[in-house]
Amino acid sequence: SVMKAITAGVALENGAVTPEQAVPILGKKWQKDKSWGGYFVTRVHAGSAPVNLEKAFVFSDNIYFAQAALKTGKAAFADGLKKFGFEEELAYPFPLEKSTIGALDREIALADSGYGQGQIQMSIVHLLSAYTPFINNGNMIKPILLMDEQKSQVWKEAVVSAEHAGVIAADLRKVVGDAAGTAHAADMKDYPLAGKTGTAEIKQKQGETGTENGWFIGYNTNSPDLMIAMMVENVQKRGGSQIPVKKVKKVFELVR
């Protein structure tokens, strides 16, 4: 689900969604039509009220972001991800696999990719870089490893507009600050964090029980010079993404 901020950026830039537009979603399961057979996109929070972009972030709504990817369309979605550096070798001293989009040839694959499942693969270093546009007016900062490398290099200019970067940044703050937010456990008085949780399910097909990796990426909105992305393996049945949420919070408590 850490992918959802990127999907939001691509969808906003393409006019597929607007921040105010509320999508009517009922129940925990959704499919576009009967051609999907027995396959459904599922979400954790099931309400009856229409879901706008802010609520989709707060509740990490898989269905909203699946629909956003479908509205964006296969070609525009893939092009948008490439603007964020997907399918591109990263000039980085430590060997990293390039982040890949995978097949988007079927509607289900496109929908699943919108919330970070499908065949999406992304390194954690690239993930950090992909969140920098939201605090740099849309510019994506190049990740570096060595102390003598030039800091604050712009890798990709205007990945999203400054306006859309601001919209997503405000929603990422809500993920932590809102009492219903999936990362509310990281909220600290006088030290506002923004970020996004994620749970990567590792299994071959729907209905199976697999392992889970928990994710959280966060930064302090008042002084966003430190951003932390953390992944913890095998979090199923022991806290899910709340494990990295609490660990990242502890790091910020030490440096605040």
Cα-based distances in Å from 56 to 47, 70, 72: 11, 16, 16
Record the tokens describing residue 236, joined without a space: 């199923």
**CA separation (Å) from 185 to 58, 178, 181?**
13, 10, 9
Tell me the residue type at 218: G
Which active-site residues does the annotation give? 1
Parallel, antiparallel, or unpaired: how do β-strands 227-232 and 154-156 relate?
unpaired
Specify the 3-state DSSP secondary structure of 201: strand
Return d(Cα 17, Cα 13) in angstroms, integer: 9
User: What is each CA distance from 175 to 56, 115, 215, in whole angstroms?
Assistant: 10, 16, 14
- Distance between CA 69 and CA 120 in Å, rounded? 13
